[in-house]
């Protein structure tokens, strides 16, 4: 999930309408203004993507049709759930509301137990990174270091420092980019080896900080540029005064040159693009530790600041716990960690303020501001950065895995993770497997945010809301928080869940949200934000609040000698939480309720001798499948439960669709006691036995056995095929009909009868209570959620909900059985009864098997009573939840009720093929369309607007990652597979790599991680990405894409060595193909029977034919096997214009259409015999032998003196054998130019001139010129052959003149003199004029000579202008020599600010190596 760029928008504390009669009592100000952040896909769960306003509201009960039975009771009682009904805001309560602790009883707990403030606990913060310099994060309440380690688990700050150099006699070393760096003589380095590397500063910083620095740097750069412009204008003015009307050609050129300089400076200001300063890094071993230092001179204005020798060396943070700051301007804290024996240096910075804010909520300690302390000020932290800076702070599989490794290595007690996303499969995936191991084996308690996708149900995200081993936390707001932190003028009367907090249940019936905690706080943020604290809200804030509360419990448990277990702690939290609200939606929103630290502590104390057991619930619907082999022997006995080991089990019962509510259903539930790995067989497993009394919260709906005896008799229910074991199973199952269940397997039957329930949401539980210790409360719960939808009976199908009343925070839910055949909905929302602005969430959710919840959402603002229309796709036959919610802060302070009328009209066109695949043939695709609901207009539209080209890897390297950070807790070492793909773009385009096997899943996948980089032939990286690739604009050229895959299973990686990857790009406007429809199958060929539209009548199908694209309209560079993608739609909105006709995506429902590019047509001219050659066989043979010899000399290497000597001998021999043969002489010239490491450079250039002259002299220039005076007949084959031959000769002549000119200039440069003296023939100028006769010397191929000529004449402005135009026109990858020439021109002119800027860009365009993954 990504963070950056963060939206630093001042909070609108209420709504857009000011209230002049009331105002908040208190406000905390810091510099700059208080900010709020937005979140998007795969981002940390703070605030919400729906609005950038803070929200508060008044609680209202759910729909009248909602019902909830009184759920299982908890431990203790009292009204201490943080509602704070009678609070009065004063300064202390205001400050306390900024960091809420009273709501969860943390303040009461610490007041009663001052020593149990988190001391002795370690929390791993899986987030965007924690700033060790942030306020309140230096020490704990008992004086210990707050941050024990700061780690970048993503690798985004890694630097390749494998290059080793030695210092010279002056104590200088050469940096990775060639800079001379002075080493501090006091630094110990017994080996004398210095590892060097580099990093662009902006690659380490957040987008927000980078933008600030760019503005500051641009301001300074503009000042320098304006100074140079002023100087240039002055020089031009002085020239004009001296030469008022110059007629002389040379004076005109001087004037032009001066004007060019002004134009260049002005243009540079327009195209200025700052890639940021570069940091040189040095790593060495001082005999005891690896240490590192940075040279940051490029960051400073003062050249004496930032020098390497002045840097205080740092070692890995966990050893000395020291950090640095890049410069005063950025104020950005960093940490250094060295890996791989000095070959990798990790510069750790945060990728957003989010992680520091989270850490502050959990543990900040302010000695002088105790009210602003975090929940557990005595706890210590490790910061595990999982948000990759390269990806805008999205988490990666690599970051998540390394973070778990670090948490185990540091023996952490707790993990907090405020990241997540929707999931395809709950409680599934590689990361979930690793979390299960960490929790069950290493006893870490994992706390995570539930998500910010509410208010609809089944919106909890992975991993926090969907994983059994993780405590998922919802976001709660109290009246005190609303009044203080959110500054609302009229807080709600009671606490409630934030409107945007994600709701359960999961798709497999689990509750989803475990507990709730305060979801907003004013907490510390990194120093680079230039402020101490900031307000953020979201489940991202609720999770660390809960985590801090759990740290208090662990602190107490350790001090009191109570074994710490995730199982016992979670049970204590859930059984002592205070329920929030009474409706079914409240249970699914808040989980077991608002956690209470003090009550949980008492529960833990009382249950200290209870075994640490978790009860795993597995649910299967009886009657769906049969036990393998069971019925073969004993027949189909309906009294026996039916399971199938291959069928995925659920964790609860979730009846959502109408078909599930028409009759009672029977469910087989397996209750499995789960002990920590390593539990003692004799002391824990053998002795374990519990007599459980089962309760149903509503026996008329949910019936269950009354008793259950649990023992540790095994971990799974195994099915047996032989008769003996089947009889045993019958005996076991026979017990299920009795009131009590004994022994193995631990199964029970639950019967759910929803037939008499009213439409709407209903929630129940079956829970078990220990007969011997009923005070423990429920030791396991089986959630039962029923959403009984209303049936649409009208024809045409329309439903209306009239007169719904809303006040701030109120949510209305409706559950509708979408009629079969529906494919889209058109809805109208009408509001009335208010006169100030109102904002609403309008969400719909449908759940389909093996898909992420189908969610449509909209944020609607009504400035006055009016109506608004929506259209969105739906799935027929599935229940749809409609959730309409008034923002909890919208209309706050106003007592007007908003009246909402909501009308939904169902539309649908059923088709026989949802996904269309055109196979590349000329045959059309038949599509049968039918309207099942009411008459619909059939107006099909189809376009192809994308192309995907498949590639196989050209290289595959499998390696073992030997670093400790890649060694899993199980002891396995992670492996890496790096695949290299090559592709070429004939034109610039925005491309997106696609790996269908791996894309769009990070949690619900068994693969660990992937990461790709796209670079050009100069090793410049243009794009990076992971499971969610983004389109990147690439210029024309050749590219390498490296895909990095990680896993500990070598077999998985071996299977992926030939992984197919697609390069996807959007077709340009002219390339987009509009497909045609026909009413006849022969229409595409015959050209008749075009189909435009018709009206579908229910009960009658209509066939249409989709024609393939015309072959001549296929986009260029679409090789065989490529795929053209697009969309097709059939219906039309009642309120739509003509856009839907041209673009199917404009319609509410569109489907994917695919066209497979067929083989190219055979070249008609290929294979035709050419005219008979007039040459004899012996003549042709002689030419073939000659050409073969020329090819041989072209292929010879000249790396050594011996090879060069052999080449010269062969050249001389061939010249004597074939005198004046231009192709041969051109190849000899080419061979001379390819020589490197030449000692006598002047002599070598003279040889180049001689070789060039031989080429020039071998060509009859008069004959060549005459030939190009006449046009040849393109139909004359012999004339075309002659034209190609003469064009080749012309090119050889031009190349010889060009290389001769370069050689002449090089000799002048080496000798330090110019041939242009009085009475001396100017060979360079004469040669240049000859070249001008044959080619355009301004072209990119020959323009270098023009640049050198202008420079030679002192016209540096004209030279620079010509060079810039040449670089701009060159479509190939940038050539380093051209940019080096540009640097020398800028340096010669004296434009230092441009020289510095261009040097930074040189390292971007021509890096010495590719970056690390």
Residues with catalytic function: 127, 354, 540
Return the half-sphere exposure (C-beta side, CA atoms, 13 A cut-off) of residue 672: 14
Give the Cα separation of 150 and 351 in Å (integer): 13
Residue 124 near residue 406, CB atoms below 8 Å = yes
Residue pointed to by tokens 């995570």: 448
* Residue 1275: C-alpha distances to residues 90, 1270, 1278, 1280 (Å): 95, 15, 9, 8
Name the pairing type of β-strands 35-36 and 1021-1025: unpaired
Q: Are 399 and 153 in contact (CB under 8 A)?
A: yes
Q: Sheet with 702-703: list strands edge to edge.
A: 613-621, 665-675, 747-752, 702-703
CA atoms of 1392 and 1397, how far apart (whole Å): 9
Number of C-beta neighbours around residue 1275 at 10 A: 7
Give the C-alpha separation, 1194 to 798, whole Å.
Answer: 80
Largest CA distance in the chain: 122
How far is the first Cα of the chain from the last one, in angstroms, to the nearest whole number?
Answer: 18
Residue 1097: count other Cβ atoms within 10 Å of its Cβ.
13
DSSP-derived 3-state class of residue 533: strand
Q: How far is CA 712 from the centre of its chain?
A: 44
Burial class from Cβ neighbours inside 10 Å (0-12, 13-18, 19+) for residue 322 reads middle
Q: Hey, which bits of 697-759 come out as E strands?
A: 702-703, 707-711, 740-741, 747-752
For residue 876, the SS3 value is coil
Per-residue buried b or exposed e for 749-774, using 16+ beta carbons within 10 Å of the residue's own CB:
bbebebeebebbbbbbbbbbbbeeee
Residues in CB range of 435: below 8 A, 6 or more apart: 404, 446, 463, 467, 469, 470
Token pair listed for 1326 = 């004469």
Look at the chain and count its residues: 1413
CB atoms within 10 A of CB 86: 6
**Cα separation of 48 and 1270, whole Å?**
72
Phi, psi of 66 (to 5 degrees): -75, 150
Contacts 24+ apart (CB under 8 A), 219-228: 220/301, 221/272, 221/274, 221/1393, 221/1397, 222/269, 224/1392, 224/1393, 225/265, 225/268, 225/269, 225/1393, 225/1394, 228/265, 228/1391, 228/1393
- Tokens 């309440």 appear where? 141
Q: How far apart are CA 1012 and CA 1040, in angstroms?
A: 10
**Token pair 């790009």: residue:** 1065
The DSSP code for 1068 is P
Q: Where are the beta strands (DSSP E) in 753-897?
A: 760-770, 778-788, 790-791, 798-806, 811-817, 824-832, 838-846, 854-862, 867-873, 879-886
Q: Rounded to an integer, what distance in angstroms lies between the CA atom of residue 1223 and that of residue 436?
A: 71
Phi, psi at 214, each rounded to 5°: -65, -40
Query: Which residue shows structure tokens 């529960």?
Result: 603
């Amino acid at each position: 999930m990504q963070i950056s760029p963060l939206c630093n928008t001042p909070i609108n504390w209420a709504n857009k309408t000011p209230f002049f009669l009331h105002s908040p009592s208190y406000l905390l100000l810091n510099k700059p203004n208080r900010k709020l952040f937005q979140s998007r896909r795969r981002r940390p769960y703070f605030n919400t993507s729906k609005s950038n306003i803070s929200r508060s509201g008044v609680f209202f009960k759910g729909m009248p049709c909602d019902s909830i039975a009184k759920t299982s009771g908890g431990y203790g009682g009292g009204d201490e759930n943080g509602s704070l009904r009678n609070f009065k805001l004063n300064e202390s309560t205001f400050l306390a509301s900024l960091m809420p602790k009273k709501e969860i009883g943390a303040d009461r707990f610490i007041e009663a137990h001052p020593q149990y403030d988190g001391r002795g606990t370690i929390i791993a913060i899986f987030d965007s990174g924690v700033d060790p310099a942030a306020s309140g994060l230096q020490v704990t309440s008992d004086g210990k270091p707050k941050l024990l380690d700061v780690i970048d688990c993503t690798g985004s700050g890694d630097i390749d420092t494998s290059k080793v150099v030695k210092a010279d006699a002056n104590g200088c070393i050469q940096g990775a980019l060639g800079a001379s760096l002075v080493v501090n003589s006091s630094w110990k380095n017994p080996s004398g080896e210095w590892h060097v590397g580099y990093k662009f500063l902006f690659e380490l910083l957040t987008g927000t900080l980078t933008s600030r620095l760019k503005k500051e740097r641009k301001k300074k750069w503009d000042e320098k540029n304006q100074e140079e412009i002023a100087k240039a204008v002055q020089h031009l003015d002085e020239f004009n005064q001296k030469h008022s009307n110059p007629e002389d050609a040379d004076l005109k050129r001087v004037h032009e040159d001066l004007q060019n300089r002004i134009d260049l400076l002005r243009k540079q200001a327009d195209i200025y693009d700052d890639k940021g300063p570069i940091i040189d890094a040095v790593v060495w071993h001082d005999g005891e530790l690896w240490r590192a230092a940075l040279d940051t001179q490029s960051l400073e204005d003062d050249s004496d600041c930032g020098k390497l020798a002045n840097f205080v060396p740092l070692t890995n943070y966990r050893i000395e716990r020291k950090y640095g700051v890049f410069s005063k301007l950025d104020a950005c804290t960093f940490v250094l960690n060295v890996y791989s024996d000095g070959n990798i240096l990790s510069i750790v910075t945060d990728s957003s303020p989010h992680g520091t804010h989270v850490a502050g909520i959990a543990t900040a300690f302010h000695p002088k501001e105790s009210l602003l302390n975090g929940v557990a000020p005595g706890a210590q932290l490790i910061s595990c950065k999982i948000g990759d800076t390269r990806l805008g702070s999205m988490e990666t599989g690599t970051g998540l895995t390394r973070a778990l490794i670090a948490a185990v290595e540091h023996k952490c007690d707790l993990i907090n993770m405020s990241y997540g996303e929707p999931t395809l499969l709950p409680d599934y995936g590689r990361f979930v497997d690793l979390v299960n191991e960490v929790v069950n084996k290493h006893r870490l308690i994992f706390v995570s945010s539930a998500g910010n996708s509410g208010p609809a149900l089944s919106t909890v995200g992975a991993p926090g809301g969907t994983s059994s081993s993780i405590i998922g936390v919802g976001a709660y707001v109290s009246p005190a928080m609303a009044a203080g932190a959110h500054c609302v003028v009229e807080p709600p009367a009671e606490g409630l869940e934030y409107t945007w907090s994600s709701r359960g249940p999961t798709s497999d019936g689990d509750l989803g949200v475990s507990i709730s905690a305060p979801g907003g706080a004013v907490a510390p943020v990194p120093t680079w934000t230039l402020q101490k604290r900031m307000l953020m809200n979201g489940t991202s804030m609720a999770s660390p609040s809960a985590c801090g509360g759990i740290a208090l419990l662990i602190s107490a448990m350790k001090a009191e000698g109570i074994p710490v277990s995730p199982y016992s702690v979670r049970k204590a939290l859930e059984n002592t939480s205070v329920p929030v609200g009474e409706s079914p939606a409240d249970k699914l929103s808040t989980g077991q309720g608002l956690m209470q630290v003090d009550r949980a502590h008492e529960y833990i104390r009382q249950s200290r001798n209870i075994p640490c057991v978790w009860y795993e619930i597995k649910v299967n619907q009886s009657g769906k499948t049969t036990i393998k082999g069971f019925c073969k022997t004993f027949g189909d006995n309906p009294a026996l439960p039916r399971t199938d080991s291959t069928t995925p089990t659920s964790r609860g019962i979730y009846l959502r669709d109408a078909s599930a509510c028409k009759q009672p259903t029977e469910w087989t539930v397996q209750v499995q006691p789960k002990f920590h790995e390593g539990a003692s067989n004799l002391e824990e497993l053998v002795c374990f036995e519990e007599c459980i009394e089962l309760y149903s919260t509503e026996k008329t709906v949910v019936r269950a056995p009354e008793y259950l005896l649990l023992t540790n008799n095994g971990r799974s229910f195994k099915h047996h095929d032989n008769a003996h074991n089947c009889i045993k199973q019958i005996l076991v199952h026979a017990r299920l009909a009795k009131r009590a269940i004994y022994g193995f397997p631990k199964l029970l039957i639950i019967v759910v009868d929803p037939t008499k329930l009213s439409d709407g949401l209903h929630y129940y539980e079956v829970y078990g209570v220990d007969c011997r210790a009923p005070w423990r409360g429920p030791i396991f719960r089986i959630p039962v959620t029923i959403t009984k939808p209303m049936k649409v009976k009208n024809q045409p199908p329309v439903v209306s909900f009239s007169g719904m009343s809303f006040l701030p925070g109120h949510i209305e839910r409706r559950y509708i059985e979408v009629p079969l055949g529906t494919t889209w909905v058109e809805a109208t929302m009408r509001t009335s009864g208010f006169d100030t602005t109102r904002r609403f969430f309008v969400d719909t959710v449908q759940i389909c098997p093996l898909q992420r919840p189908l969610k449509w959402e909209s944020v609607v603002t009504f400035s006055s009573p009016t109506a608004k229309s929506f259209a969105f796709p739906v799935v027929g036959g599935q229940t749809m939840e409609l959730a309409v919610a008034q923002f909890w802060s919208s209309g706050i302070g106003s007592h007007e009720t908003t009246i909402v009328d909501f009308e939904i009209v169902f539309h649908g066109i059923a088709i026989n093929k949802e996904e269309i695949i055109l196979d590349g043939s000329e045959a059309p695709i038949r599509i049968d369309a039918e309207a099942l609901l009411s008459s619909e207009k059939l107006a099909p539209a189809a376009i192809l607007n994308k192309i995907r080209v498949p590639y196989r890897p050209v290289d595959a390297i499998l390696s073992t990652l030997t670093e400790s950070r890649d060694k899993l807790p199980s002891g396995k070492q992670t492996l890496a597979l790096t695949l290299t793909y090559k592709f070429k773009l004939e034109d610039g385009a925005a491309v997106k790599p696609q790996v269908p096997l791996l894309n769009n899943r990070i949690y619900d996948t068994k693969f660990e991680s992937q990461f790709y980089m796209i670079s050009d032939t100069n090793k410049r990286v243009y794009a990076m990405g992971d499971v969610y690739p983004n389109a990147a604009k690439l210029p024309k050229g050749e590219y390498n894409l490296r895909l990095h895959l990680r896993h500990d299973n070598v077999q998985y990686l071996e299977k992926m060595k030939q992984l197919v990857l697609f390069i996807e790009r959007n077709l340009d406007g002219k390339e987009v193909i509009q497909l045609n429809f026909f009413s006849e199958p022969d229409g595409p060929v015959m050209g008749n029977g075009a189909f435009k539209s018709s009206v579908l009548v229910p009960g009658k199908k209509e066939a249409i034919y989709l024609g393939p694209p015309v072959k001549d309209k296929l986009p260029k560079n679409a090789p065989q096997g490529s795929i053209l993608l697009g969309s097709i739609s059939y219906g039309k909105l009642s309120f739509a214009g003509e856009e839907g006709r041209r673009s199917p995506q404009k319609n509410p429902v569109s489907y994917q259409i695919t066209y497979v590019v067929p083989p190219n047509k055979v070249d008609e001219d290929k294979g035709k015999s050419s005219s008979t050659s007039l040459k004899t066989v012996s003549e042709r043979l002689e030419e073939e032998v000659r050409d073969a010899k020329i090819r041989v000399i072209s292929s010879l290497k000249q790396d050594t003196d011996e090879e060069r000597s052999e080449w010269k001998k062969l050249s001389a021999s061939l010249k004597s054998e074939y005198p004046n043969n231009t192709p041969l002489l051109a190849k000899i010239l080419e061979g001379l130019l390819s020589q490197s490491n030449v000692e006598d450079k002047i002599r070598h250039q003279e040889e180049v001139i001689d070789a060039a002259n031989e080429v020039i002299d071998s060509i009859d220039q008069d004959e060549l010129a005459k030939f190009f005076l006449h046009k040849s007949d393109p139909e004359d084959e012999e004339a075309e052959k002659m034209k190609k031959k003469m064009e080749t000769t012309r090119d050889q002549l031009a190349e010889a003149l060009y290389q001769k000119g370069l050689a002449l200039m090089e000799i002048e440069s080496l000798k330090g003199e110019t041939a242009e003296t009085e009475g001396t023939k100017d060979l360079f100028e004469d040669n240049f004029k000859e070249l001008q006769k044959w080619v355009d010397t301004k072209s990119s191929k020959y323009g270098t000579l023009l640049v050198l000529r202008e420079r030679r004449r002192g016209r540096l402005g004209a030279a620079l202008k010509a060079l810039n135009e040449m670089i701009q026109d060159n479509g190939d990858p940038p050539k380093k020599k051209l940019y080096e020439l540009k640097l020398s021109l800028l340096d010669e002119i004296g434009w230092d600010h441009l020289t510095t800027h261009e040097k930074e860009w040189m390292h971007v365009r021509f890096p010495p190596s590719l970056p690390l993954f």
